[in-house]
Copies of this chain bind each other. A is one copy, B any other.
Amino acid sequence: MTDRPDDDACPVPLSRYAQIVLGHGSGGRLSADLLREVFLAGYGDRGPDAREDQAVLEVEAGRIAVTTDAFVVHPRFFPGGDIGALSIYGTVNDLAVGGARPRWIAVAFVVEEGLPVEELARIVRSMRDACERADVTLVTGDTKVVDRGKGDGVFVTTTGVGVVPAERDLSATHARPGDVILTSGTLGDHGMAIMSVREGLALVEPIESDAAPLNGLVEALLAAVPETRAMRDPTRGGVASALTEIAAASRVGMTVFEDAVPVRDTVRGACEILGLDPLYVANEGKLLALVPAERRGAALEALRGHPLGADAAVIGEVTDRRPGTVVLRTAFGTERVLPMLSGEQLPRIC
């Protein structure tokens, strides 16, 4: 019997169960219990206010933006974050870098039988805090349970809906030769936080994920520099892959100046130990922005004026050479191509 309460072993009042059982995905009474005691209780005022299978939202006439992401990060809890916060920030950031104002989040869980209920509740509370910080609301959700050995604890898919202000016109196709490329801060923190835990690196100072919501920073930049051409959050595949996508879409070249790329010493050290290049490592709270050269000063000032942009820097420029290609100019003045990430150097980083 999978549906017998395990009262003696249960350390939490959230549910009569200490661990998730298949019945929690049944659509019946146990699903209703889980919804009420873990999800609705955990999300609080950042969660759905009704139990319909859908959320109904009032919108103005205009453009809405929709994005979806599955999160399978391993381990689920890591320095500076967890799968719950990451699933909110990742989707908020995808909307923000497209110029949308994130408003609503839908969330779907695939939970493996046997996951401690308290661990799920902890993830839910983290999502609630992340929604508060990003000023978005969880409006609807779903939970399925798979048999033990057919999942990996919990996978979270979040879908975000945002509103695009009328004047916004950002696109990966808008980069022009002469534009400057900015980062809002140090690169590689998230990926190396995950990898250093997974590989058991004994670091003097632990690396923390940079997971954070970028919508406030984006608003600050666009208020100061509405001419901003394009933005990206360099997650999987890192800066090199994100810039290559824009270079290809805009049919331009790009040059990145190696000695201008801000990387924490601990991150650089961990990359060297593991043989990784920080330009290919995932970030979850960093912005890449392309702006016209004459707006360089205003963009830097806007980014540095926000707590998440204190380490902002110009790291490169758009060129008319080799369209679709990003080139790294090393500290020695030599150049080499930064291809898109080939293969998988960092599995399950997000």
Contact = CB atoms under 8 A, between A and B. Distances in A.
Interface of A: 1-3, 21-32, 51-72, 74, 94-95, 97-98, 100, 104, 106-110, 139-147, 149-152, 155, 157, 159, 161-162, 164, 171-172, 232, 235-238, 241, 245, 249, 280, 282, 339-348, 350
Secondary structure at the A interface, as helix, strand, loop or mixed, is: mixed
B146 A149 contact: no
A72 B341 contact: no
A108 B64 contact: no
B61 A65 contact: no
Contacts of A142: 68-70, 157
Contact of A66 (B69, B94, B106, B143): B106
A171 to B, nearest CB: 7
Nearest to A28: B341
A98 B346 CA distance: 42
Contacts of A98: 52-54, 56
Contact of A57 (B3, B55, B66): B66
A70 B139 contact: no
Given A67-B140, A161-B161, A343-B3, A59 B62 contact: yes
Contact of A146 (B25, B72, B341): B72
B150 A235 contact: no
Say how many copies of this protein the assembly contains: 2
Contact of A58 (B31, B63, B340, B347): B63
A26 B344 contact: yes
Nearest to A172: B52
B150 A2 contact: no
B63 A26 contact: no
Nearest to A234: B27
A29 B71 CA distance: 20
8 contacts: A57-B63, A64-B161, A66-B140, A69-B108, A72-B144, A144-B350, A151-B152, A155-B155
A28 B340 contact: yes
A342 B64 contact: no
Contacts of A141: 68
Given A62-B58, A152-B150, A70 B27 contact: no
Given A23-B342, A28-B236, A55-B66, 14 more contacts: A22-B344, A23-B344, A25-B348, A27-B241, A51-B172, A53-B94, A53-B98, A54-B100, A68-B157, A72-B146, A110-B155, A146-B348, A150-B151, A151-B151
A237 B164 CA distance: 39
